[in-house]
């Protein structure tokens, strides 16, 4: 199968997005050594896991350059979806520690049950190469089927709502640095949710591809800034910090 120009654009952009996400996730996790805050370690790896749906596109693109064909249907969809539920559970554990400590156990149990059901049906359907999982449109790109579209929408809703609740509490804080983190994370969650929503539902074209990848890359960068808040960010956005 010959790679077309749009496949090269899609493949290169996915590799760039994947590398940026892994780098920023590791940067967040590495701050654990300095601050000794376990949430930084977990959130760093959560972000890498959240970015895992882009991993198979990167791998398939590289594989197709050398062989002329992408990776298998099963490997593509398993690699792109198996880590997301785990990372979302870890994310909700962190959010619950901040916002819903009294409901933490119930939230985690409900989400684990939901994702256990997802895994059962997912693996049954993926090894049947069911169109409910999706179809391969080329060496690099796939189109999600109804089952994964429903899962993606539920993931976006859970991730966005939990993130917005976290942001809401941050914006109430007296500390200006915490409020700035909240504003940056608000932007990150919005960019990410919109980008992932478009990525899951619309085909990649010369018009949609730059928009989708830009939203996803910007969200990754802002997410990093919101959690770490580097010195230059404080100097740029906090007036009191410069006085």
Question: What pLDDT does 236 receive?
Answer: 82
Task: Give residue-wise pLDDT tens across range 26-47.
Answer: 999 998 888 778 888 888 898 9
Assigned fold of 5-242? Rhopdopsin 7-helix transmembrane proteins (1.20.1070)
> Which CA distances in Å does 237 have to 32, 168, 219?
24, 19, 18
Task: Give residue-wise pLDDT tens across range 87-98.
Answer: 888 888 888 887
Task: Give residue-wise pLDDT tens across range 181-227.
Answer: 889 999 998 898 888 888 877 878 889 899 999 999 999 999 999 88
Question: What pLDDT does 1 receive?
Answer: 58
Lowest mean pLDDT among 55-59, 101-105, 173-177: 101-105
Q: What percentage of the chain reaches a pLDDT higher than 70?
A: 97
Question: What pLDDT does 240 receive?
Answer: 55
Question: What pLDDT does 126 receive?
Answer: 96
Residues 139 and 1 sit within 8 Å (Cβ to Cβ): yes
- Quick one: DSSP state of residue 125? H
Q: How far apart are the first and last CA of the chain?
A: 61
Question: What pLDDT does 81 receive?
Answer: 93
Q: At what angle do helices 73-81 and 146-171 cross, to 10 degrees?
A: 20
Burial class (CB in 10 A: 0-12, 13-18, 19+), 107: middle
Mean pLDDT over each residue of the chain, to the nearest integer: 87
Report which of residues 203 and 17 the model is more confident about: 17
Question: What pLDDT does 60 receive?
Answer: 92
Give the global pTM: 0.87
Q: pLDDT-based confidence at 7, cuts 50/70/90?
A: confident
Looking at the predicted structure, is the pLDDT value of residue 51 above 80? yes
Task: Give residue-wise pLDDT tens across range 121-151.
Answer: 999 999 999 999 999 887 888 888 999 989 9
Nearest to 85 by CA among 131, 5, 154: 154
Q: What share of the chain is helix, strand, coil (3-state, %, to 5)?
A: 80, 0, 15
């Amino acid at each position: 199968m010959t790679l077309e120009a749009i496949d090269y654009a899609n493949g290169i952009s996915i590799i760039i997005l994947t590398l940026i996400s892994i780098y920023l996730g590791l940067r967040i996790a590495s701050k654990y050594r300095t601050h000794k805050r376990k949430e930084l370690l977990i959130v760093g790896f959560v972000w890498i896991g959240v970015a895992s749906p882009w991993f198979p596109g990167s791998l398939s693109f590289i594989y197709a350059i050398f062989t002329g064909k992408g990776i298998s249907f099963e490997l593509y969809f398993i690699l792109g979806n198996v880590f997301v539920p785990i990372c979302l559970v870890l994310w909700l554990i962190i959010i619950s520690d901040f916002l819903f400590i009294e409901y933490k156990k119930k939230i985690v149990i409900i989400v684990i049950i939901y994702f256990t059901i997802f895994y059962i049906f997912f693996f049954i359907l993926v090894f049947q190469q069911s169109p409910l999982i999706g179809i391969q449109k080329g060496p690099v790109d796939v189109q999600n089927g109804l089952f994964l579209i429903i899962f993606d929408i539920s993931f976006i809703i859970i991730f966005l709502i939990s993130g917005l609740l976290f942001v809401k509490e941050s914006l109430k804080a007296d500390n200006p640095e915490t409020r700035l983190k909240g504003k940056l994370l608000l932007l990150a969650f919005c960019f990410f949710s919109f980008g992932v929503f478009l990525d899951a539902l619309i085909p990649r074209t010369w018009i949609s591809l730059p928009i989708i990848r830009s939203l996803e890359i910007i969200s990754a960068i802002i997410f990093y800034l919101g959690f770490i808040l580097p010195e230059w960010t404080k100097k740029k956005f906090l007036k009191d910090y410069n006085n």
